[in-house]
Amino acid sequence: MGPIDYRDSRPIYEQIKDSIRRLIFSGAMSEGDQLPSVRNLAAQLSINPNTIQRAYRELEAEGCVTSVPGKGSFVRKTDSIEAARRRELFSKLDDATSALYHIGVSLEEILAHLRAQKEGENHDSSI
């Protein structure tokens, strides 16, 4: 678990959710892995246990974590995680695209760039 980024103005529970999601999406945590206990994480990050509880609760509602009473919280791998990962990455792409739009880059240029990058990647892997 990464530390809290103090320059990030997002609420802390969002930051915790995000860093756990990132661990799951990137494969650093896989199905059945146990999340750190609320007490441990609270002491480790010096933050309120209820904040962590809230982050875990919302992750559970999103479906990437299951809680077993008395045992703890565990990673759950489902299709919805893959879908959520896709959604997240696409929304990043949307942000970048609209930023490019605002400085006057045309859709064709953006597409050309994406194609060139894709070919570059294939080229690299063929070496």
Partner 1 sequence: MIQVSEVVKTFDGFRALDGLSMHVPKGSVYGLVGPNGAGKSTIIRHLTGVYRQDSGQILVDGAPIFENASTKARIGYIPDDAFFFQSAGVRDMMKYYQGIYPRFDRARYERLREVFQLDEKQPIRRLSKGMQKQALFWLSLCIRPDLLILDEPVDGLDPVMRRQVWSLVMDDVSENGTTVLVSSHNLRELEDVCDYVGVMHKGKLLLEHALSELQDNICKVQLVMKEGGGMPEGLNILHENTTGRVQTLIVRGKQEAIQKTIKACDPLFFDLLPLSLEEIFVYELGGVDYEIKNILL
Binding site for partner 1 (CB under 8 A): 4, 6, 9-14, 38-39, 42-51, 54, 102
C-alpha–C-alpha distance, residues 50 and 65, integer Å: 17
C-alpha–C-alpha distance, residues 48 and 106, integer Å: 47
Q: How far is the CB of 55 from partner 1 (least distance, A)?
A: 11
Output the six-digit token pair for 60: 């559970």
The residue among 19 and 77 lying less far from partner 1, judged by its C-beta, is: 19
Q: How far is the CB of 34 from partner 1 (least distance, A)?
A: 17
Q: How far is the CB of 86 from partner 1 (least distance, A)?
A: 21
Q: How far is the CB of 85 from partner 1 (least distance, A)?
A: 22
**H or E element that contains 18:** helix 12-25
The residue among 28 and 103 lying less far from partner 1, judged by its C-beta, is: 103
- Contact indicator for 85, 25 with CB cutoff of 8 Å: yes
The residue among 42 and 77 lying less far from partner 1, judged by its C-beta, is: 42
Secondary structure class of 119 (helix, strand, coil): helix
Output the six-digit token pair for 90: 């696409």
The residue among 51 and 81 lying less far from partner 1, judged by its C-beta, is: 51
